[in-house]
Amino acid sequence: MHLLPFLAVSAVVILTPGVDMALVTKNALVHGPAAARATAVGVNLGIAFWTLAAAVGLAAVIAASAAAFTAIKLAGAAYLIVLGLQALRGRDDPPPGIVAGRPTLGRGAALRQGLTSNLLNPKIAVFFTSLLPQFVDAQTATAADLLLLGLLFNAMGVIWLLTYAALAARGGTCSRGPAFGAASTGSRASC
């Protein structure tokens, strides 16, 4: 197993913005830190699923099947469109449940958003199927080796997305609070 190169590549992949980070950002800015953390946990539950699937070969079957890949891709696109439409609709007509002038999103719903977004992203299946085998020896690799790499990737992802969620939620709080007005006028702010 080639652990250090795997950790380096994983760090680059994890830090690169994508759909998951966009969803965490949106939920942090619109719904606050609890929703952002729940979304991050949901995303990483999805990654855990793809890790397990890659280790047992399911991800390879999905990646090899054009019909399965297309079905997941279309379902994922439809889900992202629904989320986008909900966000647009929410600008003019906020949903019920307003707290401090912003719509609320429960932790369960935020977790499901993160999980669904990740599970309906077929690129993750292809990614794990192609990434993990690059860092194990073909002659001696076992499913346990692939699981270990996937768990390391997931642990790094959890740490990053939870940290990012906290930072994004803090940025949202600062931009909505009185400190933002002070910062924009040049006074010292606490954010």
Residue ranges per domain, the chain? Answer: 20-173
In angstroms, the CA 100 to CA 171 distance is 16
Residue 17 parent element (H or E):
none
Dihedral, 54, 59, 64, 69 alpha carbons, nearest 10: -150
According to the model, what pLDDT value does residue 122 have?
Answer: 73
Tokens of 63: 């990646």
E strands, 21-117, where?
98-99, 102-103
The C-alpha R_g of the chain, in whole angstroms, comes to 19
Burial 38-68 (b: 16+ CB within 10 A, else e): bbbbbbbbbbbbbbbbbbeebbbebbeeeee
According to the model, what pLDDT value does residue 142 have?
Answer: 79
According to the model, what pLDDT value does residue 180 have?
Answer: 44
- Which residue type is seen at 114? G
- Which residue type is seen at 94? P
According to the model, what pLDDT value does residue 62 have?
Answer: 65
According to the model, what pLDDT value does residue 76 have?
Answer: 67
According to the model, what pLDDT value does residue 189 have?
Answer: 46
Task: State pLDDT tens for residues 138-186.
Answer: 777 777 888 899 899 999 999 999 999 999 888 765 655 554 444 444 4
Low-confidence ranges of the chain (pLDDT < 50): 92-99, 179-189
